[in-house]
Structure 1
Amino acid sequence: MSGPLDRFTIPCFEGFSSTDERKERKSDIEVSEEEKKTRIGIFKKKASKASSKLRRSLSRKRRPSKGRSIDRTPSLTFEDIHDVEELRYVSEFRQSLISDDLLPPNLDDYHMMFRFLYARRFDLGKAKLMWANMIQWRKDFGTDTILEDFEFPELDQVLKYYPQGYHGVDKEGRPVYIERLGRVDPCKLLQVTTLERYLRYHVKEFEKTVTIKFPACCIAAKRHVDSSTTILDVQGVGLKNFTKSARDLITQLQKIDNDNYPETLHRMFIINAGPGFKLLWGTVKSFLDPKTVSKIDVLGNKYQNKLLEVIDASQLPDFLGGTCTCVDQGGCMKSDKGPWKDPEILKVE
């Protein structure tokens, strides 16, 4: 899983490539591992720099009833509007974090602080404790360097036994994350990787979403984007799939996501939910936060129109009722299609 488990089972960047790199891009096969690491590092720094320009500045003058600003980079303009009460809460929260040395520069982000406040219903004490725990977890887990430090050579095999990935954006510019749970083979999955390594892969993918995918979506949509739309295809899933190892995986992933990446799920569609899954859903719901459950639509096999209400057909794989096939990239589930792969987006400075 690489999307938010607060989804069940994070704004924008300047140029990524140098002029020479833009003239002659290497394929993933041709690019060495060291080059890949260097590019990711550059990308993270650029994303962080532009994020500070694109997030809502806490020090700007605001209107009496609403806070409104037009954030600008040389190639991007968009509005970011906040309620005055929201601004007050975030400002107070930010000052409290600074006073206790809990706000490293890479996490000094208006929207991230707001998500933690929202997750704790604007209780500043509870939000601060949640934030402090997140900071400690990042240190213990090595999250700040995981994009460079952690290699996952078994990815192709993992995806074979657990089909998942991002593909396109919804009509409001959010990345769309897809899992085909009905095709998961947990026994074979744990033969090609371990639970610990899978958890690290999950965190690495979440960090990639926060530092690469969301920023690219910001630029493409000209609005702030820090949440995803998720589709879970559960065809054939029933109680037999809900083994102890599956429960353990779901529990650990949910804890990581809810504790450290709160409120990054916009909406979830569970499709092809048959009688077996509906029995299972009654049990699964008890493991999930009620706020998460409220974002989930459980649909049967007539789900296409519902998906097409929020995702354009060109952004939706054909096997889900859309028109995209990504035939030149080995299929939609292997393509990682999205603004984060658009050379024009990567040129934005």
Structure 2
Amino acid sequence: MSWFSHTAHPVQTEVEAFWYLNLTPEQQLAHDKLLEHLKETRTLHQGHDDRFTLLRFLKARQWDVHRAAAMYQSMVKWRIEQRTDHVYETFTFPEREAVLRHYPHFYHKTDKYGRPVYVELLGQTDASKILEATTLERLMHYHVCDWENLQRKILPACSVLAGRPIITKSVILDLKGVTLKNFGSAAQKMLRNVVTIDQDYYCESLGQMFIVNTPTVFRMIWAMVNPLLEERTRRKIVILGSDFLPTVTQLVPLESLPACLGGKSQEPASLQDVGPWLDVQLPNPVKNPHKEKAAGADGQEGGDCDPEQQQAAVAVKATTAAVVSPPSSMRQSATAPGRLHLEEDE
């Protein structure tokens, strides 16, 4: 178990994991009010006007419509100022291999709910050497591109495979070998930037986080990290020592855990992304199962925006989708901002 936990059962239940499919009438009403407000103020942003995006911002602000609207509008302002769509479509990162040597991270298969599992080996991370290989600005562009790829490619593919919308990921941070040296000034500066991006602009995209192999010095490290996190983020974190497998495998099957974390998955090298999303290609014409339009966002009432109909359609597509093996890469281009584009082979 964890010495840091907010609940008696820290590992999420299925109902908790799929909160966005189990709304109360009050939460649905909040969604409708937020949608109406954003349309009235002309701040509903194309590519981020789907039902699940609005629900994420509402949940991040405790279902307070006005606070959620302010947070959403700040996200839109940030995307425009940072030209996020342009960065995603044009950014290249030739120094990635050099960065990976000092910042090992990768996606590895899915948890039992079908969510992608993201792993960082923080004990092998050296922020000073990372910033010798690249700049902080380019590293943050890389980080944003990783988020965009998750939302545009990985999560939609996982949704097809799961037969229901997947909008969050699970995270495992391995602290084996971590010392205070790993959290020097360079690391703290990187962390502040990452936390701001993650919590403010990609809010409620984290399902569950396990921090494992925590060393003796972790209490001091946590004292530095904890103030940066909002309470909603902290509640998703389970902190464990070296005997973490019994807890982690409640969510991530042993067969899906990489060998470096005591799992049975040997494929391939640990720094390569591995996951069923790499083998999914949707035949045209197919609507993106992850980009469920918010009811009425396209000017239509009802229609194919009904959640139950959407889930049924996703399940059908999961059985009929073509299967291919595209190469794994840090970034795949999109044909339009925020839209998944997967085509049949010519």
CA distance in 1, matches of 2:22, 2:210: 28
Could you say if the C-alpha distance between residues 303 and 117 of structure 1 is closer, same or farther in structure 2, counting changes exceeding 3 Å? same
Q: Calculate the TM-score normalised by the size of structure 2.
A: 0.74
1:338 aligned residue: 275
Deviations 1:118-166 (A, max 9, x none): 1111222111111111111001111123221111111111111100011
**1:150-299 equivalence runs, <5 A:** 150-299=91-240
Task: Check whether the contact 1:304–1:321 (CA below 8 A) recurs between aligned residues.
Answer: yes
CA shift, 1:345, in A, is: 6.2
**1:1-349 equivalence runs, <5 A:** 80-327=21-268, 331-334=269-272, 336-343=273-280, 347=321
CA distance in 2, matches of 1:124, 1:80: 19
**Given residue 339 of structure 1, which amino acid in structure 2 is its aligned partner?**
P
Specify the SS of the correspondent of 1:132: helix
Deviations 1:40-72 (A, max 9, x none): xxxxxxxxxxxxxxxxxxxxxxxxxxxxxxxxx
Aligned residue pairs, count: 267
Specify the SS of the correspondent of 1:240: helix
CA shift, 1:84, in A, is: 2.0
CA distance in 2, matches of 1:247, 1:187: 11
CA distance in 2, matches of 1:219, 1:127: 28
Deviations 1:222-251 (A, max 9, x none): 111111110000112232222122111111
**Given residue 189 of structure 2, which amino acid in structure 1 is its aligned partner?**
D
Tell me the percent identity. Answer: 36
CA distance in 2, matches of 1:257, 1:157: 24
CA distance in 2, matches of 1:238, 1:287: 20
CA distance in 2, matches of 1:148, 1:127: 28
CA distance in 2, matches of 1:237, 1:123: 39
CA distance in 2, matches of 1:169, 1:127: 30
Could you say if the C-alpha distance between residues 226 and 182 of structure 1 is closer, same or farther in structure 2, counting changes exceeding 3 Å? same
CA distance in 2, matches of 1:139, 1:164: 28
Task: Check whether the contact 1:167–1:177 (CA below 8 A) recurs between aligned residues.
Answer: yes
The alignment yields a C-alpha RMSD, in angstroms, of 1.7
CA shift, 1:80, in A, is: 4.6
**Given residue 253 of structure 1, which amino acid in structure 2 is its aligned partner?**
V
CA distance in 2, matches of 1:187, 1:242: 10
Specify the SS of the correspondent of 1:107: coil
CA distance in 2, matches of 1:321, 1:298: 17
Specify the SS of the correspondent of 1:247: helix
Stretches of structure 2 that go unaligned for 5 or more consecutive residues are 1-19, 284-320, 323-342
Q: Calculate the TM-score normalised by the size of structure 1.
A: 0.73
